[in-house]
Chains A and B, each alone.
Chain A
Amino acid sequence: MPIITVVSRDGTGRAIEMDAGMTLMEGLRDHGFDELLAMCGGCCSCATCHVYVEPPSPATGEEDDLLALSAHRRDTSRLSCQITLTPDHDGLRVEIPPED
Chain B
Amino acid sequence: MHHDVLIVGAGHGGAQAAITLRQRGFAGSIAIVGDEPELPYERPPLSKDYLSGAKPFERILIRPAAFWEARGVTLLRGRRVVAVDPVAHTVTTADGGAFGYGQLIWAAGGRARRLACAGGDLAGVHTVRTRADADAMRAALPAVEQAVVIGGGYVGLEAAAVLRAAGKRVVLLEQADRVLSRVTGEALSRFYEAEHRAQGVDLRVGAQVRDIVGDGRQATGVRLGDGTVIPAQMVVVGVGIVPSVEPLLAAGAQGGDGGGDGGGVAVDAFCRTALPDIRAIGDCALHANAYAGGRRIRLESVQNANDMAITVAKALTGAAEPYHAVPWFWSNQYDLKLQTVGLSAGHDVAVLRGEPAARAFSIVYFRFGRVVALDCVNAVRDYTQGRALVERGARCDPAAVADITISLKDLAAAA
Residues of A in contact with B (beta carbons under 8 Å apart)? 26, 29-30, 32, 34-35, 37, 39-41, 43-47, 61-62, 65-66, 68-69
Pair A37/B63 contact, Cβ less than 8 Å: no
What's the nearest-Cβ distance from chain A to residue B398, in Å?
23
Q: A39-B306, A40-B330, A68-B385 are in contact. Are A34 and B23 (CB under 8 A)?
A: yes
A41→B64 contact, CB < 8 A: no
CA distance A30 to B70 in the complex (A): 12
Bound Cα distance A34, B48 (Å): 25
Query: Beyond A29-B63, A30-B67, is A43–B384 a contact (Cβ under 8 Å)?
Result: no
Q: Give CA–CA (A46, B44) in the complex, Å.
A: 14
- CB–CB A39/B339 < 8 A: no
With A41-B60, A43-B49 given, name 8 new contacts (CB 8 A): A32-B67, A37-B306, A39-B302, A39-B303, A41-B45, A41-B302, A47-B384, A65-B380
The verdict on B192 contacting chain A, using a C-beta distance below 8 Å, is no
Min CB–CB distance B329 → chain A (angstroms) = 9
Known: A34-B19, A41-B60. A66 touches B70 (CB 8 A): no
What are the 4 A-B residue pairs with the smallest beta carbon separation, nearest first? A45-B330, A65-B380, A65-B381, A62-B380
In the complex, chain A residues whose CB is within 8 Å of the CB of B16: 37
A40 near B302 with CB under 8 A, answer: yes
- Taking CB as reference atom, which chain A residue is nearest B42? A41
Q: How many angstroms from the CA of A26 to the CA of B59 in the assembled complex?
A: 8
User: Is residue B337 contacting chain A, with contact meaning CB distance below 8 A?
Assistant: yes
**In the bound complex, what is the Cα–Cα distance between A30 and B302 (angstroms)?**
19
A69 touches B59 (CB 8 A): no
Cross-chain pairs A/B with CB under 8 angstroms, 29 sampled: A26-B59, A29-B63, A30-B63, A30-B64, A32-B70, A34-B19, A35-B23, A37-B16, A37-B306, A39-B302, A40-B302, A41-B42, A41-B60, A41-B302, A43-B330, A43-B332, A45-B332, A45-B337, A45-B339, A46-B330, A47-B384, A61-B380, A62-B337, A62-B380, A65-B383, A66-B384, A68-B381, A68-B384, A69-B387
Asked whether B22 is an interface residue with its Cβ less than 8 Å from the other chain, the reply is: yes
Across the interface, A41 reaches (CB within 8 A) one of B22, B44, B339, B385, namely B44
Q: How far is the CB of A49 from chain B (nearest CB, A)?
A: 13
| B328 within 8 A of partner (CB) | yes
Contacts of A46 in B (CB 8 A): 328, 330
The complex places the Cα of A34 from the Cα of B60 at a distance, in Å, of: 16
Bound-complex Cα distance A30 to B67 (A): 7
> Which A residue's beta carbon lies closest to that of B306?
A39
Interface centre among B383, B384, B385 (most CB of A within 10 A): B384
Per-residue interface assignment for chain B, residues 41 to 76, with 1 indicating a CB less than 8 Å from any chain A CB and 0 otherwise: 010110011000000000110011001001100000
